[in-house]
Chain A
């Protein structure tokens, strides 16, 4: 599945995100992979995913202008592939 504006995402619960000057490092404790988030704005969006209903509202809330949405969708899709983010599981 690839990410679209209507996707409902969350940070993978086994992932830790550590801010760095270039963006952030993410570490997946499950598959032991280290992932580089190479832009601070992407980090902001990733960390805000859980607080908003879907990707589009997260982008709006983070002040990402519409012309930049395609690159953010691409970034989130690649982060989904590497399991940094995933489809949000229904909270119990």
Chain B
């Protein structure tokens, strides 16, 4: 079977997700300006420990190999380690994303002693000024301290996870050097206009020229750098980047949010992309296998306005979430279409008329956002 027909098979959906993200909590000690889930405050409807374990039982039965845990900041949950241990004991590997605030020396040793565990420390700048403008004051030091502690505890190869923005594209080589310094692996992902990111995307997303820089950089370093296959829209520039060239939403990917709602992917927390709730009868398995939304996403999708473009096979029209939250039609070009085919449509969408995320758990005061509006260059 060729790689292309494999992708066609995957578009029809899998018996269970390959890549399942589970945001454990909306609570967070930080208030990053691009937070996909608009996190900050805990939701009182948050899943209990017992409910969370029930989900892990379901995922084990579905033979989900590993889960990506995030938040909010997942380590603020008091049962965080209990859930980690329960997951791994059931043969479900865990990758979790954290800002590092709670990885002190003792926790680092505890994490280092566990099998089938990957840790992603979020960092969006190689210096405090660049990082903290997006992730909040003190967050750079927080992340570096966590890395030092993991290194001292001989955790092994953790990951440094970077959201690529206009302000850190020029630092890619330095991120790689930082990762090498810690014996870590670099992971870079695309900025999505989801959650609070919908408010800051226009100021933060890489320029067209920078997109080519990212593409060239990935062609050179791609084999050793993780991307979550998030830059497939750049494939329209030429040779394909490593990874799966397709939108996996509802087909191979999905999100379980802290209150058990299941969304098509981590970047579309919006009612329109909500497939169901794990608390419903039949649990997660029924949502994955039978929800109307997921079944419709597994039908052939129209290329729409992109049908006549020679690059469509390469870029697949890009990211559904990026189109949705910038107000673009889903069967048209990605807002960061490298051919510039979305530029005109974007220019006539009045700012503020785009769909808004269905929930907002932001804390009332967002100092970082105020800071950003002063420091951001346009």
Chain A residues with CB under 8 Å of chain B are: 16, 18-23, 25, 27, 29, 32, 34, 36, 38-39
Contact = CB atoms under 8 A, between A and B. Distances in A.
B1 A18 contact: no
Interface stretch (B10-18, B189-197, B307-315): B10-18
Q: Which 8 A-B pairs have the closest CB atoms?
A: A27-B65, A38-B1, A22-B9, A18-B63, A29-B116, A20-B14, A20-B15, A16-B65
Interface residue tally of chain B, by bracket? 10 to 19
Contacts of B6: 22, 36, 38
Nearest to B8: A22
A15 B16 CA distance: 17
B18 A34 contact: yes
A21 B116 CA distance: 27
Does more than half of chain B's interface fall in helix, strand or loop, or is it mixed? loop
A34 B65 contact: yes
Nearest to A30: B116
Interface string B25-63: 000000000000000000000000000000000000001
Nearest to A17: B63
Contacts of B263: none
A29 B66 CA distance: 9
Contact of B65 (A18, A20, A21, A22): A18
5 contacts: A18-B65, A21-B15, A22-B6, A27-B66, A34-B18
A39 B63 CA distance: 19
Contacts of A25: 14, 18, 65
A29 B95 CA distance: 12
